[in-house]
Structure 1
């Protein structure tokens, strides 16, 4: 990311990455599955807590990412490789389609716990978002560039809030077959993103000559 010039291209690229890394798509199917036994007000409450947790976590990562990289002596390339590996595992699970669900000993689901994990992290704020925020934290060069990232984080969070607090209305318009197909297709696309992150990280570390397209 080059924050020297903040133009429409940079903003569009960041927004697209954040929509993948913090947008509603990856978390949508897990949210519907994990909250299917709850009533509408409870689902909305879980959605609010999930979005709040993911947003606060994203802001903390962006604020401290550069410092953590210096303290741990890691580079943006290493972060990209790690993000690609973790995202690949998540994406392959999505691409494989729905698996058989097993009831965990009949234990009741704690809505506060699932709102934080796994719904907020790693589904809503997923490895792409974490990777992008850490790298952006280390590359911002001015108040304007930092403000741009912050505004985009809050914009995506507002979209998440709108969707997950009105999930009952949206769920009535969603066909199960369409959700499954979109989950598989998006999983394949995310697998490609994971591979690109991995290759980009290798390029930044000088291990290979290939780098992510600008």
Structure 2
């Protein structure tokens, strides 16, 4: 039961920060002037690359923290602040400054490598997503929970791939207003996650401080 709760929490956390349905608007604007086949190729390559990046930090995040002598609670606090900034932008219905800016979208439209930047990185796997992956993996208390994080990553990007491949149909069906509503809902969930990260990090840091000899 505890492992299932951890899996659901991991998946919802990753899905909220990646927010693929919100990214559909940006993806459509970047691929509006190309054919369906070219759009699908970009969707495949960008989502696969984003997934690989997330998995890379899932497996190496702990080593990176150890190398720089950064505690997991420090990352929780820093990541929580970053996630809250992203969530605030989402609640206001804006494209997050953490993921991609309007000027970057404009300058990327005519480039052939948009599947790398800005779609794979940082639209899908920005600093917020990377921080979340590392925190979740470091919080896993068993092998089953570690596997749950990996499955959550794969499931999140599998859904992202489906949404991106059908992005034009989804955009026509849901519309810009529907996208804004979903973005605000994900922003609210992400804000709660950010507060939880910060509160847990601060409490653990405080406990560690007062128990020092």
TM-score, normalization by structure 1: 0.77
TM-score, normalization by structure 2: 0.77
| 2:195 aligned residue | 195
More helix per residue: 2
Q: Give how far 1:202 is off.
A: 1.7
1:109 and 2:110 correspond = yes
1:83 and 2:79 correspond = yes
Q: Could you list the runs of 5+ residues in structure 2 that have no partner in the other structure?
A: 96-100, 208-213
Partner Cα separation in structure 1 for residue 5 and residue 104 of structure 2: 46
**Deviations, residues 59-97 of structure 1 (Å, cap 9, x unaligned):** 100110111111111111111122122223333333333
| SS, match of residue 109 in structure 1 | coil
| 2:118 aligned residue | 118
Partner Cα separation in structure 2 for residue 203 and residue 193 of structure 1: 15
RMSD: 3.1
Q: Give how far 1:13 is off.
A: 1.6
- Aligned runs of 1:2-151 on 2, under 5 Å? 7-98=3-94, 109-112=110-113, 114-140=114-140, 142-151=142-151
| 1:153 aligned residue | 153
| 1:211 aligned residue | none
| SS, match of residue 7 in structure 1 | helix
User: Judging changes above 3 Å, is the alpha-carbon distance between structure 1 residues 83 and 146 closer, same or farther for their aligned structure 2 residues?
Assistant: same
On the 8 A contact 1:88/1:191 being kept in 2, the answer is: yes
On the 8 A contact 1:17/1:128 being kept in 2, the answer is: no
On the 8 A contact 2:21/2:160 being kept in 1, the answer is: no
Partner Cα separation in structure 2 for residue 160 and residue 138 of structure 1: 24
Partner Cα separation in structure 2 for residue 72 and residue 103 of structure 1: 31
Q: Could you list the runs of 5+ residues in structure 1 that have no partner in the other structure?
A: 208-214
